[in-house]
Amino acid sequence: MTDIVFPSWPDVAPKLISVAAGRAFADTVIRQGKWVNVHTREVLPDHDIAIVAGRIAYVGPDASYCTGPDTQVIEASGRFMIPGLCDAHMHIESGMLTPAEFARAVIPHGTTSMFTDPHEIANVLGLDGVKYMHDEALMQPVNIFTQMPSCAPSAPGLETTGYEISPEDVAEAMSWPGIVGLGEMMNFPGVANADPKMLAEIAATQRAGKTVGGHYASPDLGPNFAAYVAGGPADDHEGTCEADAIARVRQGMRSMMRLGSAWYDIESQITAVTEKGLDPRSFILCTDDCHSGTLVNDGHMNRVVRHAIACGCDPIVALQMATINTATHFGLERDIGSITPGRRADVILTSDLNELPIEVVIARGQIVAKSGSIKVDCPHYDWPDSARGTVHLGHELAAKDFEVPAPEGANGVTVNVIGMVENQAPTKALKADLPVRDGLVEGEGDTMQIALVERHRATGGVTNAFVSGFGYQGKMAMASSVAHDSHHMIVVGTDREQMAMAANRLAEVGGGVTLFRDGEELALVELPIAGLMSDKPATEVAAKAQALGEAMQACGCSLNNAYMQHSLLALVVIPELRISDLGLVDVRTFQKIPVIESVT
């Protein structure tokens, strides 16, 4: 297990005191900037910051008394000095990148602290996978804190994962140096019904004095919600409207409002602060899921803060939601989240609080990025062979594996259909009348086939159903070994031959995303680590992801970031309909339902 090498406040208190008292010189001084104080919601001009041993020793009008001949001086030149940004809830795997390459991608955007839940890799590689992510996270020049995944499987009995996480795993992880809490507790029915396994995981976390992450993906704010809150989850990022945000903070939870690649849930919830006037201390900003294209082209937490400001939030309040509020929630306000003595010296220089250009990024006292260019190394973990080659189909798939047989004698059927909702995680439970040809149900119009292909145990199992909303046309199929959360393989297509080609291609390359049309591969993103991540630079992965997006558009899909929604179609803890290796799941009732409802 990797040890945290960055010294704690008490480790370096003598140095901090000596510099602050003027008995020793600072390692670095940031001179003459506007100090954005997130504790008091003030902007104080003409201030200096003195740093020693990677921590802040002094913030005040003049640090010349502790500036020596060897002190590095960074001229703020009147720019705003804001704390490094914190992402309160995120999954590194969604970027299709390893922790090292994710850090390399987001550091220039001003993200210096991340609270990551590696439950994607937990589903594929179990506790070993979590260790690999945790250990690589601790190697980085910024702060990557790990939440121990809580739900693998996310909904027991409704999906089969590669590995299962146990309360014993959670208890063990609570002793690891970089673990700050329990990852999102997605099994909200389990908590509401006092499931012993879920409560044991929560208890192990609480007894370790750490934070329990929440995930309540239901519009029901009655007794089930009350029971969930009583179970212990301390935050929630699944809210989609103002009432959701208000309900959570009134119950003492933190409302985490997300802007990811495909989740746009801030605008509809931040009115709880901007219009209703609720105390903003209980509101936190996060991304949840950002793919590499977003990170390279649009930004990370800087993008989220800018969006919150554009939605009417006061700029300093928005910054609080991405710094001190996050730090306080995880019990780390004495370590990160503000520019004050003793804290890690994570500072951004920016010339505009509204547009938030990230001009200089300082993490742990060293310049890590300037003008969008990274200035430090992000070390890679030596991933073992067991983390690669994780796509096991059992046999080569053929068009026949994707057939949906109709009841004997039927000329048409009514089927249950997963309906996409643009820019949101929930789906709609729809119905469609489809034709039957040669004894097989055929997709028609915008209703096409979706399949979940088992890839962990080589069972050869394929679950077939129907989906609408992608708008694909012609003979095509797209397959992904990223299939939250069980991470089998999701294949969506208009033609069964293309579906088989796409699935077999992913087995050949060890995982990723591919799109076939008329027998030709139009795009491929290789993700060889657990079928989830690449250890290539974000720019390379983003270029391939962009090519994938263009191929999807060429096949008729105009949805924003449709790949993210494709990858969530097996997430059996978010309503309304999902697909799993065990069948079609109605998440409103947590029951399996038939694909074919009736004969027409």
Closest CA to 596 of 497, 453, 464: 464
pLDDT tens per residue, range 247-286: 999 999 999 999 998 789 999 999 999 999 999 999 999 9
Local mean pLDDT, 10-residue blocks, the chain (600 residues): 72 98 98 98 98 98 98 98 98 95 97 97 96 97 97 90 95 95 94 97 97 95 98 97 98 97 92 98 96 91 98 98 98 98 98 98 98 97 95 97 96 97 90 98 97 97 98 98 96 98 98 98 98 95 94 95 90 94 96 96
Structure tokens at 355: 């547009």
Q: What residue segments make up the domains of the chain, in order of their start?
A: 9-81, 388-593
User: What's the pLDDT score for residue 4?
Assistant: 54
User: What's the pLDDT score for residue 1?
Assistant: 39
- Asked if 237 contacts 258 with a C-beta cutoff of 8 angstroms, the reply is yes
Phi/psi for 64 (5° steps) reads: -65, -30
Phi/psi for 381 (5° steps) reads: -80, 150
- Asked if 568 contacts 574 with a C-beta cutoff of 8 angstroms, the reply is yes
- Asked if 94 contacts 513 with a C-beta cutoff of 8 angstroms, the reply is no
- Amino acid making up residue 154: S
Give the distance from CA 170 to its chain's centroid: 20
**CA–CA gap between residue 213 and residue 574 (Å, rounded):** 16
**CA–CA gap between residue 576 and residue 599 (Å, rounded):** 23
User: What's the pLDDT score for residue 261?
Assistant: 83
**CA–CA gap between residue 506 and residue 512 (Å, rounded):** 6
- Amino acid making up residue 250: R
Phi/psi for 20 (5° steps) reads: -60, -35
**CA–CA gap between residue 349 and residue 82 (Å, rounded):** 7
Structure tokens at 462: 């394929």
Residue 156, burial from CB neighbour count under 10 angstroms (0-12, 13-18, 19+): middle
Closest CA to 579 of 470, 445, 446, 427: 427
Q: Are strands 283-286 and 254-258 parallel, antiparallel or unpaired?
A: parallel
CA dihedral sign of residues 34, 37, 43, 48 = negative
**CA–CA gap between residue 233 and residue 225 (Å, rounded):** 11
Q: Which fold has domain 9-81?
A: Urease, subunit C; domain 1 (2.30.40)
Closest CA to 158 of 596, 588, 583, 595: 583
Q: Are strands 72-75 and 28-37 parallel, antiparallel or unpaired?
A: parallel
3-class secondary-structure state, position 485: coil
CB neighbours of 524 closer than 8 A, spacing ≥ 6?
Answer: 505, 509, 512, 513, 514, 515, 544, 548
User: What's the pLDDT score for residue 155?
Assistant: 86
Structure tokens at 49: 């910051």
Preceding omega of 279 cis (within 30 degrees of 0): no
